Amino acid sequence: MPPLPERPTPEDLRALRALQSRLAAQVSLEDVLTALPARLAGVDTGFEDAGRTTRSAAVLLEGDTLQTLESRVARLPTALPYIPGLLSFRELPAAWQALQQLSTAPALVLVDGHGIAHPRGLGIAAHLGVLSGLPCIGVAKSRLVGDYDEPGPLRGDHTPLWHKDRQVGWVLRSKPRCNSLFVSPGHRVSVPTSLSLVLACLGRYRLPEPTRLADRLASRRDGRAPAG
């Protein structure tokens, strides 16, 4: 990833948006797996020091049991101010570092954020997927783009998410009486398979286990000290 300006100019922002479009063209929606692999990971990112430090967590899980095998946290100076639509550039340096610190490379990564359900088709899950070459899926807590009908009230109920006459993901009720999640493929995963893989990762909570565990670390809700 190129060096990012601390105080981006309008020209800088145009260049980053153009880069997003070029990277989005590299996203593949062809499946390289259709079931949970032996090793998968969850990645999430938070911020410390009033946003000056980016804190990303990567958690490696066993595919059969969804039990944690390893976790890593990376803390870096925040690369870019918050700019709508360019969040992946802000989060990616620390997220990529945390993922690289895992002793075993996962065969699938679930990312707290969007995949292709993004104005230029490159949310954090798509950006991380293109950078790493790993199959990635975005699981976001709120909508960024797209139109949809609200899914039914039961766990597993889902409806398509559409953007510019194209299905870019799913709206998923992962737990009764909870707000829906927004699932979209990031890289090397198709739209249909992104849903089935996320469903396979659901436990007792609203978030699928990989991103739930990463969220706890990234937001420090597990009580552990910073590491990595």
- Name residue 220's amino acid: R
Contacts for 206 with CB less than 8 Å, ≥ 6 apart: 174, 175, 178, 179, 181, 212
CA distance 206 to 214: 14
Residue 84's CATH number? 3.30.2170.10
Q: What is the pTM of this model?
A: 0.93
CA distance 41 to 212: 11
Residue 18 falls within a domain, yes or no? no
pLDDT for res 20: 95
Which DSSP string corresponds to 172-224?
A: E--STTS--EEEEEEES--HHHHHHHHHHT--SSSS-HHHHHHHHHHTTTT-P
Sole residue written with tokens 């980053």: 16
Residue 40 falls within a domain, yes or no? yes
Residue 13 falls within a domain, yes or no? no
H/E stretch holding 161 reads strand 158-163
Residue 224 falls within a domain, yes or no? no
pLDDT for res 2: 61
Residue 112 falls within a domain, yes or no? yes
Q: Give pLDDT tens digits along the chain (228 positions).
A: 666 766 788 888 999 999 999 999 999 999 999 999 999 999 999 999 888 999 999 999 999 999 999 999 999 999 888 899 999 999 999 999 999 999 999 999 999 999 999 999 999 999 999 999 999 999 999 999 999 999 999 999 999 999 999 999 999 999 999 999 999 999 999 999 999 999 999 999 999 999 999 999 998 644 343 332
pLDDT for res 195: 98
pLDDT for res 224: 43
Is 112 flagged in the annotation as binding? yes
Sole residue written with tokens 């565990």: 213
Residue 227 falls within a domain, yes or no? no
Counting the structural domains of the chain, the total is 1
149 token code pair: 């009908």
CA distance 222 to 85: 29
Contact 221, 196 (CB under 8 A): no
Residue 122 falls within a domain, yes or no? yes
Domain that holds residue 68: 33-218
* H helix intervals, the chain: 10-24, 87-100, 124-132, 191-200, 209-218
pLDDT for res 3: 63
pLDDT for res 51: 87
Residue 63 falls within a domain, yes or no? yes
Is 64 flagged in the annotation as binding? no
